[in-house]
Structure 1
């Protein structure tokens, strides 16, 4: 015979099992969009990759379950997009992913509210607009440097899609993310709501028309010449004395560029391991290279230095040297990689340095962005960024507004040489170029080094992670400004406004729909000065049915 205790135990085991499997499915569903990013680069998959997670959240039986599904989906997304960090952070990457995944919990509630149950045409339109706005708020929140920065924004998966790059010139990567999530939402409706399929199709057609309109109408950069830029990539050099041997290899490769009619030679991040101010012999060697190739050399110093305000410590700095040595142009990296270049709250989290490759000593931050002007008739103005900073749309936009004609990112992803990180990092240059209407050079120590034109198009052949060499690129220059440069992050503000309006509407509807606790006498319809109500008496404990009677209202 089955006892009640046994039945409860069996029910609890079944519930626990189904909950466990549902959690695993949520993690896997959240991880799917990572396949749209390099290295797989299945860009088209981004437009349906969120559908499984949206369907799962829609099926949640309660708001708590929807929030949990959203959290687990976000955790899966963060782990998949950042999985290459595991050699550095080990198990700590799971903790960070779970913490950042909490940003998806409110989004899970939002999805459940908008997609659950029967859907009218109005409800479909609301879902296709509001669900992407909620996703964009997640991307905004996690773009804060201390939370890891804007790596793996969903719109960045479209870095090689020309219409998406044109869209980025209007509203940045944010507008592309909105489009991708909106298409996923519309496809979800197509699968689950037969009565609302026409509305979903209309939404997809409207999106296509909007993209086509942007393609035809958005102002494009005006070509203004060509600059010849050389990138030096020494390749993987490890073991004792690697810093000196890397410098020597960079010298060798730079000498091979003599007679190539160059405007600038760019070395990768941390290409110089000593301060050229304190080591004038190093500055003299680079100056000799500049005279040989007939162009300035932009190196990157990772060493103890003193900045203009007198602070002394380890800076990562883009330093320009010419035929006479140091030109005085220097940019100190402002946004540092958490754990990679500094440990947040080191007194509490310093133990992380023993678990992976966390920074043993914190780097110091620069205080302002700078542009540098190259000598010669062209007087080309360049805007340097260092590694991680190419992920931040606002930094390249600021440089463009300050007059930069060429954006340059000096990078090093050698710690993640055999993962997806080098290709992912290089792809960000296409978005930054398209957003600003300015070409971008992505120069690394060990690959991938590449160049993008002012519309985000790839220029020449990239230097892969298996290459040690130098390449010269004819970089097309452009003038004018894109709408994104003029208007800034307007999709973020628009999404915030839409969410605020939605929340206000839901709040008002909730208040109006709340039933009254009592019925006042003067609200009851009167006939001849009297009305009647029929109060119900509770049933007696003996189990008899309640009786009702009519009593006159005073």
Structure 2
């Protein structure tokens, strides 16, 4: 860092207190690349200040601390909209999960610290992104919060990045982003590293260009006419009933528009249809009126199983068709409290779930016999659209259309609705299958098999229905076929590096300390 040796900046850049503040701010910077700011281009340099800070740490311990603080800052920034619900508990969660970046900080200092030569720089261009992917992989575990805010997801509107996603998923996009940031940090901080860093930037550019030019593309396979129903925010003591009435009204307006599937948002029905057969009859009447099945989402206590489930239920002209999917991956604290006996106090300081929802057993591909060729639909509920593996497995099981049912009423005026809606483009590009993102409240959108937005979005202020001619596609994307190879490759590279470091340390201990020269 050129500024370290300059006079008036010296106390600031060497003071542990100021460096800690700088680490938190530097870690938070990449959050601006996500919606709503959507400064997607910032992701190609947003990690550079954090990398420069960590590489200049005076010890491995200090690098670990600054990696931890930067990780906490990043998580706070991308999840800041949870503050009204979790209050001070969001600080605790960010501090705990931020620890995942501590080893990454040590790795950055080991590879980029001091004056790295071409060999160390070349290793850093592979291992620093690999280490970042390992952090993202661990924090993507549903019990640690899930894959919200993966760095690669910030590129949801960039066509070359979406092509990369079709080859290696969001993981490959994130790997390339961190590699570019690492190369820029090396260019700025280490003169001996500049040739290797420039070669790394060129390699990234060549790789992206090669994928853009030669990677296979999905082939057209007709279209399906889908309607989304978004009632908007409805509050009050009788909000459940008034919301159903509004959804019913909006659906009736679709009569005569030749739709083949109507999708309602998450928690669009607040009572179990077995307990309330009158609601089932009203939904069946809607299906007959519109001439299409209606996919609703029931958030209620089940009559056939104990507990509360969130379930996608397909209703036809004769009532529920038997196609049902129970949500499998629940939102921590929002739908259940992890280790409730220990963390149950979170319900007293925020809006954590008072009772844990129950989980489904398996993913389901629903068949719509009324559509041409029997359309196969893969449902996801809210948070599940953030998991790349769930949409990939649905497509592997034959889904032709992905449908996510969501609601963001608690976070309506935050960055959450736009960021959630953006995931539809990424999942569609990864799988070569169009994705419908239908919301109770929030932003509803549709993406085609290449991740391009179809028609208009329904914004957070909308209470309306919209009809989309969704183009279908055939073929199997490289990502669906090969899976998370970018993650496995990163894991292998880190394993080789750790083995080499172990051998080096063992040799040093055997040979003893090197005597001083002269």
TM-score by length of 1: 0.89
Report the counterpart of residue 160 of structure 1 in structure 2. Answer: 157
- 1:368 equivalent in alignment to 2:368: no
What's the offset of the Cα at 1:466? 0.6
Helix, strand or coil at the partner of 1:265: strand
Report the counterpart of residue 259 of structure 2 in structure 1. Answer: 262
Note the alpha carbon deviations across 1:437-485, whole angstroms, 9 max, x for none.
Answer: 0000000011200000001111011000011000001101001100100
- 1:455 equivalent in alignment to 2:477: no
Partner Cα distance (1:93, 1:128) in 2: 33
Report the counterpart of residue 44 of structure 2 in structure 1. Answer: 47
Larger Rg: 1 or 2?
1
Q: Runs of 5+ in structure 2 lacking a partner? A: 1-10
Q: What does residue range 176-187 of structure 1 map to in structure 2 within 5 Å? A: 176-187=173-184
Report the counterpart of residue 510 of structure 1 in structure 2. Answer: 505
Partner Cα distance (1:54, 1:232) in 2: 45
Partner Cα distance (1:518, 1:55) in 2: 30
Match of 2:74 among 67, 72, 77: 77
Preserved contact between residue 56 and residue 114 of structure 2 (Cα < 8 Å): no
Match of 2:93 among 82, 93, 96: 96
Report the counterpart of residue 232 of structure 1 in structure 2. Answer: 229
Report the counterpart of residue 316 of structure 1 in structure 2. Answer: 310
Match of 2:344 among 346, 350, 353: 350
Preserved contact between residue 437 and residue 444 of structure 2 (Cα < 8 Å): yes
- 1:408 equivalent in alignment to 2:403: yes
**More displaced 10-residue stretch of structure 1: 501-510 or 70-79:** 501-510
Report the counterpart of residue 245 of structure 1 in structure 2. Answer: 242
Helix, strand or coil at the partner of 1:181: helix
Report the counterpart of residue 216 of structure 1 in structure 2. Answer: 213
Partner Cα distance (1:34, 1:102) in 2: 18
Partner Cα distance (2:64, 2:493) in 1: 21
What's the offset of the Cα at 1:503? 0.9
Partner Cα distance (1:379, 1:410) in 2: 21
Match of 1:481 among 463, 466, 476: 476
Helix, strand or coil at the partner of 1:463: coil
- 1:470 equivalent in alignment to 2:470: no
Partner Cα distance (1:126, 1:396) in 2: 33
Partner Cα distance (1:17, 1:84) in 2: 33
Partner Cα distance (1:15, 1:57) in 2: 15
TM-score by length of 2: 0.95
Preserved contact between residue 12 and residue 18 of structure 2 (Cα < 8 Å): no
Match of 2:383 among 379, 382, 388: 388
Partner Cα distance (1:129, 1:156) in 2: 20
Note the alpha carbon deviations across 1:194-215, whole angstroms, 9 max, x for none.
Answer: 2321221111111111111111
Figure out how many residues of one structure are paired with residues of the other and give that number: 503
Report the counterpart of residue 426 of structure 1 in structure 2. Answer: 421
Note the alpha carbon deviations across 1:298-321, whole angstroms, 9 max, x for none.
Answer: 000000114xxx532110000000
Report the counterpart of residue 541 of structure 1 in structure 2. Answer: none
Preserved contact between residue 12 and residue 19 of structure 2 (Cα < 8 Å): no
Match of 1:200 among 185, 192, 197: 197
RMSD (Å), alpha carbons: 1.5
